[in-house]
Amino acid sequence: MKRNTRLSSTLHILVHMAEKPEHALTSEQLATFIHTNPVVVRRTIAGLRDAGIVTSSRGHGGGWLLGRAPENISLAEISAALGETLLPLSTAPESPGCLVEQAVIAVLDDFRVAAEKLLAEKLSRITLADLTADFRRRYDLIGVSSHAV
């Protein structure tokens, strides 16, 4: 089954941005982090700009900046801004009038709605700041072990 890499790629980009809060990063630079094309980056994070999670500016010296402090950016918002559900479970009718299908859809739809709420709650408790903290912990560890050798 194909897995969705967009959330993971976007978080990767955002942590890099959080690590360089002073200057805008270009789509070109962001693209190299996730080994892709600048246009793909712009397209992917366009929704984040609309949600105020990042800002973009054109022209010389332009690029992308976080729209607010990493502490105030939750993974739930990021995921929502990407415009994709985490649970791509279809509950759309395909045999209108079939009571069996109606029963299946009713039960499955209840599950889907409740599950999406649960997932959003879990993600809302993780912020971009948690990710950068985790990164710095790893970074410092490498430094220490390098000194030790």
Question: Cα(57)–Cα(65) distance, rounded to whole angstroms?
Answer: 9
- Distance, in Å, from the CA atom of 29 to the CA atom of 27, rounded to the nearest integer, reads 5
Binding mask 56-95 for its own copies (x = CB under 8 A): -------------------x-------xxxxxxxxxx-xx
CA angle 70/73/20 to nearest 5° reads 30
Quick one: which segment of 13-21, 52-60, 118-126, 140-148 binds DNA (CB under 7 A)?
Answer: 52-60
CB atoms closer than 10 angstroms to residue 41: 24
142 binds DNA (CB under 7 A): no
3-state secondary structure of 105: helix
Q: Any idea which residue has 């700041």 for tokens?
A: 129
Give me the residues that bind DNA (CB under 7 A), please.
1-2, 4-6, 26-28, 35-40, 42-43, 46, 49, 56-64
Give me the residues that bind its own copies (CB under 8 A), please.
1-5, 7-9, 11-12, 15-16, 19, 33-35, 75, 83-92, 94-95, 98-108, 111, 114-115, 118-119, 122-123, 126, 130-132, 134-135, 137-139, 142
